[in-house]
Amino acid sequence: MTTKKPAEDQSPTPPVALPAAPAASDVALIHGVTSDGEGLRILRARGDRLELGAIRPLREGAPITGEVVTLRPRANFPALCDVETHFKPAEDANDRQVPTPAATVQRTGPAQVATDEYRRNWDAIWSQSASKSKLAN
């Protein structure tokens, strides 16, 4: 003869419910300085996601390559900051950030606006062979 355990002992233990965070919680933990020394490395928790990133100060005339945020340190733990988002770039259908042109191509100097026809004419006027003409003026 076998003995059966009561039904309540066979059920799995219910998970312990943790206190729910506010739905709009957005916090960042500062954990270091960037390699160039100009920014801070952060671990950001927003909603149900964790993100690793860096923040840098805004510079006049410099392109914005991500979000514009304000960090408000907490009184009891200054390395933990509440995040306020002021600007968020557009996202594509796959829910990822669309890179800005400045983030994908690093160039120096003025914008490149010359067409192929412009370059051909430039070469015709300013090329070495045109400047060393054998005709006397």
Q: What is the pLDDT of residues 23-38, one digit of tens each?
A: 458 999 999 999 989 9
User: In terms of residue numbers, what domain contains 31?
Assistant: 23-105
Question: Model confidence over 70-79: pLDDT tens digits?
Answer: 999 999 999 9
Question: Model confidence over 53-69: pLDDT tens digits?
Answer: 999 999 888 888 889 99
- How many domains, in total, are found in the chain? 1
Q: Which of 41-45, 98-102, 105-109 has the highest mean pLDDT?
A: 41-45
Tell me, yes or no, whether 127 lies in a domain.
no
Q: Which of 30-39, 84-93, 109-118 has the highest mean pLDDT?
A: 30-39
pLDDT band at 84 (very low <50, low <70, confident <90, very high): very high
Residue partners of 51: CB distance under 8 A and separation at least 6? 43, 44, 45
- Look-up of token digits 């606006």: 113
Contact between 116 and 122 under an 8 Å Cβ cutoff? The reply is no
